[in-house]
Amino acid sequence: MLLQENEILKIKLKKVIQRKGNFETSTKTCKSCNKDYFEKENFNWSCRVHASDFGGEMWWCCGKNGKDQPGCKFSKHASKEDELDL
């Protein structure tokens, strides 16, 4: 029984080693929304911010009431590191 489990673990280990380069472990922080993200999960709708300032009761850009409302402008996340690379 132990030999069977050992063989199964060896097979699983080989699969993990083969997929080793497919996983991204480093996160970046967006300079617009300050959220952490993975570059592989960065899409055109990932970052949500407001296009204007909060006017006390509502956002001037979209008319949503309350400071905690989700942003109306969608874009990809942009990290501070990407800005330094340019």
Give the pLDDT mean for 20-31. 74
- At 24, the amino acid letter reads E
Check residue 22 and give its pLDDT.
62
**What is the spatial distance between Cα 32 and Cα 52, in angstroms, rounded to a whole number?**
13
Written as one string, the DSSP assignment of 23-79 is: -----EEBTTT--EE-GGG--TTSEEE-SS-B-SSBBTTT--BSTTSPPSEEE---B
Give the pLDDT mean for 8-17. 82
Higher pLDDT, 5 or 25: 5
**pTM of the predicted structure, to 2 decimals:** 0.60
What digits encode the pLDDT tens for the residues 51-76? 998 988 999 999 999 999 999 999 99
